Amino acid sequence: DGGITQSPKYLFRKEGQNVTLSCEQNLNHDAMYWYRQDPGQGLRLIYYSQIVNDFQKGDIAEGYSVSREKKESFPLTVTSAQKNPTAFYLCASSYRSLYNEQFFGPGTRLTVL
């Protein structure tokens, strides 16, 4: 089955700790994205990558970092510099064309205690 996997589904961390969220896709998509969603709100773009070894900041990149060493993988690190990290994090992928839909993973709910 083709799709996007995110792990874990729920994650708890202590304040001040860095945490890395996993995102893997086997859809052969070039582009991958990370979004953040707060309760009752829409999604906001954190980072996106159009090709391997290249990525761009989205609207709310401060306190986050990413890497894109493989086409299939786009991990997101939430650093201690992120002031309010508790949120629902969604990874997506698509073909590079702007006409194409984005496919989303099931999300990771991060709670920082």
Partner 1 sequence: DAKTTQPNSMESNEEEPVHLPCNHSTISGTDYIHWYRQLPSQGPEYVIHGLTSNVNNRMASLAIAEDRKSSTLILHRATLRDAAVYYCILRDVGGSNYKLTFGKGTLLTVNP
Residues contributing to the site for partner 1 (CB under 8 A) = 4, 31, 33, 35, 40-45, 48, 50, 58-59, 90, 92, 94, 96, 98-99, 101-107, 109
The nearest distance, CB 80 to partner 1, in angstroms, is 26
CB 27 within 8 A of CB 3: yes
With b for 16 or more beta-carbon neighbours within 10 A and e for fewer, the 70-96 pattern comes to ebbebbbebeeebeebbbebbbbbbee
State which residue, 13 or 44, has the beta carbon closest to partner 1.
Answer: 44
Distance of CA 56 to the CA centre of its chain: 13
State which residue, 3 or 17, has the beta carbon closest to partner 1.
Answer: 3
The nearest distance, CB 104 to partner 1, in angstroms, is 3
> Is 87 strand, coil or helix?
strand
> Is 30 strand, coil or helix?
coil
The nearest distance, CB 38 to partner 1, in angstroms, is 11
State which residue, 71 or 80, has the beta carbon closest to partner 1.
Answer: 71
The nearest distance, CB 25 to partner 1, in angstroms, is 12
State which residue, 17 or 57, has the beta carbon closest to partner 1.
Answer: 57
Burial of 47 (0-12, 13-18, 19+ CB in 10 A): buried
